[in-house]
Amino acid sequence: MPDWSYHGIFRPLLNILPPNVSRELIHRGMSFIATLPFQIGPQVIHFLGREENSPLIQKNNHGLTFHNSVGLSGKIDPFLSGTRAFTNLGFGFLEIGPVTAKQTTHFTTPIVDRKAEAIQFPAKVESVGIEKTIDHLHKVKKKQPLFVRLSGTYEELSFMIKRLEQFADGYIIESSFPVLIQETNKPIFFSTVPPSESLIDSSFAGIVLEHTEKDIRLHEKVKKLRNNGYKGTIITSGGIKEPEQAIQLLDAGADFIMLSDGYVFAGPGLTKRINEALLDRLDYSPPQLHGWFAYWLFGLFIMIGGLLALLFSMTTVVLPYDELFLGMKRESIMTFNERIMLFMAHDRMTLAGTMISGGIVYMQLAKHGVKHGLKWAKQAIDIAAIIGFLGIFAFIGFGYFDWLHFVFWLVLLPVYIYGYMKSIGVTGTPSSKNRKNDVIFRRGLFGQLAFVLLGFSFVLGGIIISTIGMTTIFVPTDLAYICMPAEMMNTFNENLLPVLAHDRAGFGSALISVGLLVLMLSLWGFQQGNRWVWWTYLIGGLPAFWAGIYIHFAIGYTTFIHLLPAYIALGLYFIGLILSYTFFNKTEARH
């Protein structure tokens, strides 16, 4: 669940429910998606959130590889109902528990202070017990180290360690039993609230410092331990609501950090934001790839094709090969029904605007994304381009094969393949200037939501238009505008409907492809400080909206219900531009 959906859609609804009900609802819902068959669930989660990490922030500790330094506290998921989802959300490690030998008979509802953005977790240890924990862990497809927090007597701890050896990569205990290190070859960390000086010579692998609301200066505790010579691993738990606080702790000497209540209030994207901020501080510039220019040319050719299509739609409308297929000149169609020609201009101009916009977005993704090694930008181009190429099959069902379109397809294909092959090695992940949960960040989330909805609406609209083009060709408002049923047009010229179907399905296919570009740019490219993304939206969106709305007024096809989707899309476009402007163009914090 990305932040744009969490804050913009789900959190207001979840706040109405009791804390334990909303927690289980969202955890079980995410786990259901994560466990869909054939890896569909993880792919959906990855598509919406892209939680991959750069190797530059990877860590190795105690023989374990951590993709990043950010973990999730077990306090967030006491019933382990969300563990299968959390493994897919980009964490470097997960804490399981606390686990006790026996199940707790009564579970306390956490107290949520929404104003202070704090959660008071149960004071006493509450657990589903060792047996249920093992049942849950059997179902988890582990993608990162798991640290199991244990609570109990020495005998109980020893017993649970033996039972959990096949699942745990390390243990966190709340009682000082150094002798337990003889029970396992895996690291054991001692959890403590006030760090005692005696821990400096501890035989434990490290310590877990617990954050409390009464003492918010957790980073100073970490710094004091390091200054006093403590060499063990330091893990902090809680005290992080925004990336800046995570950076403070890591700079002070913490090896790893665990998110707790701050994760609930900041949103599930906090992990990703921290990792992007850490990468941003490295100021790493990946080597430029040669394949980006081929992708840029691919976009340029599409834009040029769109400009030519725009020219034709504003002048002759019907091209010579159209007339050859129809067996008549454009004047004959005009004499029969002028509005048929205007309707063709309507479809062809909207296609032209969509192509111009798509070409601009392709060029921007190539220049600012692929050129700088961003894997998401390459994948966005690949997905949209392949869908676009396949779109040629959407408009041949009625028997009209557009040779000019096919030649254009043949020109684009080798350019795309060259760019694809030369950029196969792209592995870079994005960085971000975002450090605070300030007004810039909050507005940006709603701007992102608007653009995501815009991308989804384009894809859905393209599917609907393509389907109509391959089946009925017209909607009722089309026939009302033309003032003629399809049967009469077919009687006039049996090749006329295939040409109109070709135009309609071709536009729908292009809209799907461009919609995917907008959607993926909105899902994957929303990092603070990415000015080029905002300008891509602005410049890339104008041709499609101008052509799509202008032509309707130019030909008098202004039926409100027909234009309503375009008006809604235009509204989302402007809302997204306004709300995301400061997010992309300014980096200083505002509270």
Is the pLDDT reported for residue 514 higher than 50? yes
Q: What is the predicted pLDDT for the residue at 395?
A: 62
Quick one: 266 and 313 in the same domain?
no
Quick one: 373 and 305 in the same domain?
yes
Average pLDDT over residues 513-532: 96
Would you say residue 383 lies in a domain? yes
Quick one: 154 and 226 in the same domain?
yes
Average pLDDT over residues 165-194: 88
Q: How many structural domains comprise the chain?
A: 2
Boundary (domain end) residue, out of 282, 306, 322: 282
Average pLDDT, the chain: 91
For residues 576 and 564, give the distance between their C-alpha atoms in angstroms, rounded to a whole number. Answer: 18
Q: What is the predicted pLDDT for the residue at 131?
A: 94
Higher-confidence residue of 283 and 560: namely: 560
**Residues, the chain:** 591
Would you say residue 138 lies in a domain? yes
Quick one: 333 and 457 in the same domain?
yes
Boundary (domain end) residue, out of 243, 258, 282: 282
Tokens of 158: 């020893």
For residues 232 and 178, give the distance between their C-alpha atoms in angstroms, rounded to a whole number. Answer: 14
Quick one: 485 and 407 in the same domain?
yes
Quick one: 562 and 460 in the same domain?
yes
Boundary (domain end) residue, out of 253, 282, 311: 282
Q: Residues 345-396: pLDDT tens digits?
A: 999 999 999 999 999 999 999 999 999 999 999 999 999 999 999 887 766 6
Rounded percentage of the chain residues whose pLDDT exceeds 70: 96
Q: Residues 42-80: pLDDT tens digits?
A: 899 999 988 888 999 999 999 999 999 999 999 999 999
Quick one: 518 and 488 in the same domain?
yes
Would you say residue 590 lies in a domain? no
Would you say residue 179 lies in a domain? yes
Would you say residue 241 lies in a domain? yes
Would you say residue 591 lies in a domain? no
Q: Which residues contact 488 (CB under 8 A, 6 or more apart)?
A: none
Quick one: 221 and 326 in the same domain?
no
Quick one: 225 and 253 in the same domain?
yes
Would you say residue 498 lies in a domain? yes
Q: What are the DSSP calls for 8-20, one per residue?
A: IIIHHHHTTS-HH
Q: What is the pTM of this model?
A: 0.93
Q: How confident is the model at residue 270 (pLDDT cuts 50, 70, 90)?
A: very high
Quick one: 123 and 241 in the same domain?
yes
DSSP 8-state code for residue 181: G
Average pLDDT over residues 508-513: 94
State the residue range of the domain holding 438: 291-585
Q: How confident is the model at residue 474 (pLDDT cuts 50, 70, 90)?
A: very high
Q: What is the predicted pLDDT for the residue at 117?
A: 80
Quick one: 249 and 158 in the same domain?
yes
Quick one: 254 and 311 in the same domain?
no
Q: Are 412 and 302 in contact (CB under 8 A)?
A: yes
